[in-house]
Chains A and B, each alone.
Chain A
Amino acid sequence: DAMVIQNPRYQVTQFGKPVTLSCSQTLNHNVMYWYQQKSSQAPKLLFHYYDKDFNNEADTPDNFQSRRPNTSFCFLDIRSPGLGDAAMYLCATSRDGSGGALNTDTQYFGPGTRLTVL
């Protein structure tokens, strides 16, 4: 089945120790997104890739970086995790993102990676 896969599902890291979260997709979608969701809050968009073009949200801290080596994979790197970065990190994909009546923009989410910072 075509899907969005996130690994690992649970990640524990130490304060200040770099960590990488992984997302892969078999949908062959052009756009990949990373969201941060803290407890009892709405998901918040960090950044997205439209093909190889990286688009950062204005309020995303510099501590968060992303890489997309090919269509299928996208990584979230947290350079120096703080206690406030503990959250669920959600990856999503969409076929396109240019709008329009065909709705090729619908985002499909992976199961998330829950990050704990000790």
Chain B
Amino acid sequence: GEDVEQSLFLSVREGDSSVINCTYTDSSSTYLYWYKQEPGAGLQLLTYIFSNMDMKQDQRLTVLLNKKDKHLSLRIADTQTGDSAIYFCAESLIQGAQKLVFGQGTRLTINP
């Protein structure tokens, strides 16, 4: 079945890089997404990667995809206090319309 897994917590020092990892199960996923959720807010789309790509870079964000291992990571360079949030990995499945399957989310905490 469909399953997306993430570690629940990550703590980094301000200015360091954060790496959030995710594994997924469905090899037919066309896109994989990273969403950010701040307390009490909705989901903000951060970035996405198409399944035939290995890497995508967007300013401080780098997404790496290892399709063989079904492993996705999000690297945030020079982590700032404003990056504190929960980060959700999601795989997309096309069943009629697109269906997103989310991981449980990784809570990123920044230490001064």
Identify the A interface with B (CB < 8 A): 4, 6, 31, 40-45, 48, 50, 55, 90, 92, 94, 96-101, 103, 105-112, 114
With a cutoff of 8 Å between Cβ atoms, the chain B residues found around residue A96 in the complex are 97
With a cutoff of 8 Å between Cβ atoms, the chain B residues found around residue A112 in the complex are 40-42
Among B40, B42, B43, the one with the most A-chain Cβ atoms within 10 Å of its Cβ is: B42
With a cutoff of 8 Å between Cβ atoms, the chain B residues found around residue A111 in the complex are 41-42
With a cutoff of 8 Å between Cβ atoms, the chain B residues found around residue A99 in the complex are 30, 94, 98
Among B43, B98, B105, the one with the most A-chain Cβ atoms within 10 Å of its Cβ is: B98
Is the beta-carbon distance between A101 and B44 smaller than 8 angstroms? no
Identify the B interface with A (CB < 8 A): 4, 30-31, 33, 35, 40-45, 48, 50, 88, 92, 94, 96-100, 102-105
Task: Give, as a whole number of angstroms, the nearest-CB distance from B93 to chain A.
Answer: 9
Is the beta-carbon distance between B45 and A42 smaller than 8 angstroms? no
Interface contacts beyond A42-B104, A98-B94, A109-B42: sample of 7 additional A-B pairs, CB < 8 Å, sorted by A: A40-B105, A41-B104, A103-B48, A106-B45, A107-B100, A109-B35, A109-B45
Task: Give, as a whole number of angstroms, the nearest-CB distance from A114 to chain B.
Answer: 7
7 interchain pairs (CB within 8 A)?
A6-B42, A31-B97, A42-B4, A50-B96, A55-B96, A101-B50, A112-B40
Known contacts A42-B88, A103-B50, A106-B48; A48 and B41 CB within 8 A of each other: no
Task: Give, as a whole number of angstroms, the nearest-CB distance from B16 to chain A.
Answer: 25
With a cutoff of 8 Å between Cβ atoms, the chain B residues found around residue A31 in the complex are 97-98
With a cutoff of 8 Å between Cβ atoms, the chain A residues found around residue B30 in the complex are 99-100, 105
With a cutoff of 8 Å between Cβ atoms, the chain B residues found around residue A55 in the complex are 96-97
